[in-house]
Amino acid sequence: MPATLPAAFSWPIPCPPLRDGELGLVPWGEVASISNVREDLIESCNDLRMVRWTQVPHPCTAEHAAAFLEVPANELRWALVIDGRYSGNAELRLVSEQHRAAEFGYNAAQWARGRGLTTRAVRLVSDHAFAHGVHRLVIRASVENAASRHVAEQCGFAFEGVLRGAELLRGEFVDHALYARLATDA
């Protein structure tokens, strides 16, 4: 049976502060209020695991950080904040307004890994997106990126397959594991 559509939908949806215990998600428009955010962002982006799995410039400079800290035009982005420190980010990019679909991006700084913070952030943002009419959320991760795939699986995203040669990353085409979760999923 087809899912019932919520009333109206338009992008972007609201991007308020979100919280889960000590984890705060700060809307990107307020990221400048986080102490040492530029320095923490540069340190995070220069971490070799971040470089391996993302498109961050390497080495990441103050100029790169300044550009990244600008509020993105057509996506929602939150800073993960733990103990008052920038610890990563979670973002939603519109895939299709007509089909109410968005795609996740997320990362965690090296000092915040292994604590379940990214999983909690993805759950918070997913619940928020579904409450505002998004029907389908997608996560794509390199098939070799076990940590990102683990986050998707822990958050109830269903594995849908492999997208071969989906991204040109650091001079090589990499395959992506595709995960999705629907508003109607339990």
Q: What tens digit of pLDDT does each residue of 146-178 get?
A: 999 999 999 999 999 999 999 999 999 999 999
Regarding pTM above 0.85, the answer is yes
Of the CA atoms within 13 Å of residue 148, those in its CB half-sphere come to: 23
Q: What tens digit of pLDDT does each residue of 16-56 get?
A: 999 999 999 999 999 999 999 999 999 999 999 998 999 99
- % pLDDT > 90, the chain: 91
| Band of residue 71 on the pLDDT scale cut at 50, 70, 90 | confident
pLDDT at 16: 98
pLDDT at 2: 58
pLDDT at 3: 61
Inter-residue contact 104 to 137 (CB < 8 Å): yes
| Band of residue 73 on the pLDDT scale cut at 50, 70, 90 | confident
pLDDT at 122: 99
Residue 114 scores a pLDDT above 60: yes
Alpha-carbon distance 61 to 153, whole Å? 33
CA 122 and chain centroid, separation: 7
State the burial class of residue 177 (Cβ atoms within 10 Å of its Cβ: 0-12, 13-18, 19+).
buried
Altogether, the residues listed in the chain come to a count of 186
Question: 8 vs 11, 100, 137, CA distance in Å?
Answer: 10, 10, 18
Q: What tens digit of pLDDT does each residue of 30-41 get?
A: 999 999 999 999
Phi and psi for 177 in degrees, rounded to 5?
-85, 135
pLDDT at 163: 99
Domains of the chain by start residue, with CATH: 18-182 (3.40.630.30)
3-class secondary structure per residue, 65-81: HHHHCCCCCCEEEEEEE
